């Protein structure tokens, strides 16, 4: 049981707990007046009872990471478990990169679970998107909005959080602001997404406060998925090796990959990364998206290149969304892959950019 204060009646009333979940960091939500909760939660998580149902599902799935130690974060101020729960809401979806309002509307209609707002391609240093573009798109869509900041540039992150984005991507796709340090993401109330290429990278970013991990592949927008597959297999392979290790060997592995021991042990116990794991780079067809899901990812990032070629971007985005949702159903994959050859004609990698198979130690 917990006490809830009605907006009109000041007398506390007893309301039954919606699910038997004993998570101390989440207790602040239940003990907060309803009006205050509605003002602090993102608009797409309302009404509050739906948020409770999603938390119950996350608890049953066993993929909510909790930190009770105050040495990691202040649960009363920026609870990591809340941010990890918000990231869980995107599981099983496709996050689409957009740069204009028309692209945002197409992605929303096609079923994207979130939008990554970027600036159109420009020469020189890549930075965070113009806040005016973010505000314009936020006013016109109902799904969550994400924006990118440069690695280590905590002031850009402060600006994005103030603008009101739902997620911040500390992205290596942009220029790097700090070559030695990442943002201390525990200082922010907004969930962060960070990239990785191996298990050590992923767990170090989680220790810094990342609520979602993005295994990054191709950064050039060429449609080449080879690098993404390589990095995803690297992460998943290291997790499988970790699962088969003796408890005494975990200490040596955590030292070898330069990752915190407690997160390595938690990964071994869960059999997966302790936070949501997406794949990004070169995913431009339904088959690419289904491949990432079958390799063990929770979702995919779709680059803006799907809007640059062909005459029907809605069909391409919709096909990828359906492939993520039904990645084990060959009938759905066949249906959504038909008629895309001409649409993908401009997303082919030139022979000069491809490394011949068998070279490079393979």
- Residue extents of the structural domains in the chain: 78-340
Distance CA 111, CA 124 (A): 33
Nearest Cα to Cα of residue 115 among 89, 143, 140: 143
What are the distances in angstroms from CA 167 to CA 114, 124, 158, 161, 189? Answer: 9, 25, 12, 8, 10
Residues 6+ apart with CB under 8 A from 243: 268, 271
Per-residue pLDDT of the chain (362 residues; tens, 9 = 90+): 444 444 444 444 444 443 343 444 443 444 444 444 444 455 555 444 444 454 454 444 444 444 444 334 444 567 888 999 999 999 999 999 999 999 999 999 999 999 999 987 766 678 889 999 999 999 999 999 999 999 989 999 999 999 999 999 998 878 888 888 999 999 999 999 999 999 999 999 999 999 999 998 877 767 789 999 999 999 999 999 999 999 889 999 999 999 999 999 999 999 999 999 999 988 999 999 999 999 999 999 998 888 876 678 899 999 999 999 999 999 999 999 887 765 555 555 544 444 444 444 44
- Inter-residue contact 99 to 117 (CB < 8 Å): yes
Structure pTM?
0.74
User: Any idea which residue has 């390595």 for tokens?
Assistant: 264
For residues 86 and 78, what is the distance between their CA atoms, to the nearest angstrom?
A: 13
Task: Single out the residue of 127, 270, 301, 282 nearest to residue 203, CA to CA.
Answer: 270
Sign of the C-alpha dihedral computed for residues 231, 233, 234 and 238 taken in this order: positive
279: part of which helix (H) or strand (E)?
strand 276-280
CA 53 to CA 55: how far, in whole Å? Answer: 5
Asked if residue 276 has a cis previous peptide bond (ω within 30° of 0), the answer is no
Residue 259: closest CA among 322, 198, 191, 345: 198
Q: State how far Cα 31 lies from the chain centre.
A: 28
* 78-340 under CATH 2.40.30.60, yes or no: no
User: CA geometry: angle at 260 spanning 258 and 265, to 5°?
Assistant: 115
Would the CA dihedral through 153, 223, 214, 60 be positive or negative?
A: positive
């Amino acid at each position: 049981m917990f006490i809830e204060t009605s907006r009109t009646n000041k007398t506390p009333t007893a309301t039954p707990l919606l699910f038997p979940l004993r998570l101390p960091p989440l207790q602040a939500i239940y003990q907060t007046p309803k009006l205050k909760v509605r003002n602090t939660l993102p608009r797409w998580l309302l009404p509050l009872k739906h948020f409770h149902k999603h938390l119950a599902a996350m608890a049953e799935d066993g993929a909510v990471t909790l930190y009770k130690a105050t040495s990691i974060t202040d649960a009363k101020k920026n609870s990591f478990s809340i941010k990890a729960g918000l990231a869980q809401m995107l599981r099983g979806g496709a996050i689409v990169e957009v740069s204009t309002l028309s692209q945002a509307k197409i992605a929303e209609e096609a079923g994207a679970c979130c939008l990554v707002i970027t600036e159109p391609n420009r020469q020189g240093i890549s930075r965070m998107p113009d806040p005016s573009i973010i505000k314009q798109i936020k006013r016109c869509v109902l799904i969550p909005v994400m924006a990118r900041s440069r690695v280590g540039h905590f002031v850009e992150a402060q600006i994005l959080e103030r603008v009101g984005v739902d997620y911040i991507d500390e992205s290596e796709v942009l220029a790097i602001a700090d070559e030695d340090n990442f943002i201390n993401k525990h200082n922010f109330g907004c969930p962060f997404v960070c990239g990785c290429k191996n298990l050590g990278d992923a767990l170090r970013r989680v220790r810094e406060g990342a609520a979602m991990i993005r295994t990054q592949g191709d950064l050039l927008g060429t449609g080449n998925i080879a690098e993404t597959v390589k990095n995803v297999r690297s992460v998943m392979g290291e997790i499988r090796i970790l699962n088969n290790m003796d408890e005494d060997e975990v200490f040596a592995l955590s030292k070898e990959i330069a990752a915190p021991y407690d997160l390595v042990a938690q990964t071994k116990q869960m059999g997966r990364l302790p936070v949501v794991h997406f794949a990004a780079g070169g995913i431009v067809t339904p088959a690419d998206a289904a491949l990432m899901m079958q390799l063990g990812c929770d979702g995919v990032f779709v680059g803006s290149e799907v809007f640059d070629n062909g005459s029907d971007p809605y069909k391409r985005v919709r096909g990828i969304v359906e492939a993520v949702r039904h990645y084990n159903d060959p009938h759905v994959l066949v249906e959504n892959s038909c008629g895309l050859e001409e649409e993908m004609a401009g997303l082919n990698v030139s022979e000069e950019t491809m490394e011949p198979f068998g070279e490079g130690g393979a």
